[in-house]
Amino acid sequence: MSTPSAAPLVGVIMGSSSDWDVMQHAVAMLKEFGVPHEAKVISAHRMPDQMFAYAEAARGRGLRAIIAGAGGAAHLPGMVAAKTIVPVLGVPVPSKYLRGEDSLLSIVQMPKGIPVSTFAIGEAGAANAALTAIAILATTDDQLAARLQEFRARQTQAAMDMALPT
Ligand SMILES: Nc1c(C(=O)O)ncn1[C@@H]1O[C@H](COP(=O)(O)O)[C@@H](O)[C@H]1O
């Protein structure tokens, strides 16, 4: 589909560098599929002006999906979604005191009209957000669609090959 140096199609943003342990799983999946992407720390709380600028420029820069991860009072995905029509995929990052249940509820309970597609808490959510971004791109990219089908087939085979210690 694209060379790694091509303009990013997917933006991966997170509220803090402390979210990287989780969000790296989204980046790893995008890399595995060869999808041009960028990864940045953007915080609605700590850098609201930069967050607005990022969201406002996203569509014009060619981003087709934004994966936004945050923990605790996780307003980043919703606020980005408020400022762009690029699909926003929200990843709840596990928090220190409430295990990410606060992150999940902060992201998922959006008011009607401003959607954030919300994923599971943690690593699986980050990986699945990337797979959804890839699926969005695959609607107009047959090569990427074929790679996604192969990924699914490998996963099915791995499940069928699972053995139990009997
Ligand atoms: N939820 C947000 C936002 C935001 O939503 O704008 N900005 C930072 N944070 C979150 O604060 C947590 C703690 O951040 P620090 O580790 O930097 O103190 C992180 O999980 C981050 O996503």
CB 38 within 8 A of CB 91: no
What is the distance between the alpha carbons of residues 24 and 122, in angstroms, rounded to a whole number?
11
Please enumerate, by residue number, every residue annotated as part of a binding site for substrate.
16, 19, 46
Q: In CATH, which of 1.10.10.60, 3.40.50.1970, 3.40.640.10, 3.40.605.10 is domain 10-160?
A: 3.40.50.1970
Closest ligand 1 atom to residue 74 Cα is 1
Q: What is the pLDDT along the chain (166 residues), one digit of tens a residue?
A: 444 568 999 999 999 999 999 999 999 999 999 999 999 999 999 999 999 999 999 999 999 999 999 999 999 999 999 999 999 999 999 999 999 999 999 999 999 999 999 999 999 999 999 999 999 999 999 999 999 999 999 999 999 999 999 8
- Structure-derived torsion over alpha carbons of residues 114, 119, 123, 124, reported in degrees to the nearest 10: -150
Nearest CA to ligand 1 atom 12: 71
Q: Taking the CA of residue 49 as centre, how many other CA atoms within 13 Å lie in the half-sphere pointing to its CB?
A: 0
Domain spans of the chain, in order of start: 10-160
* ipTM attached to this prediction: 0.99
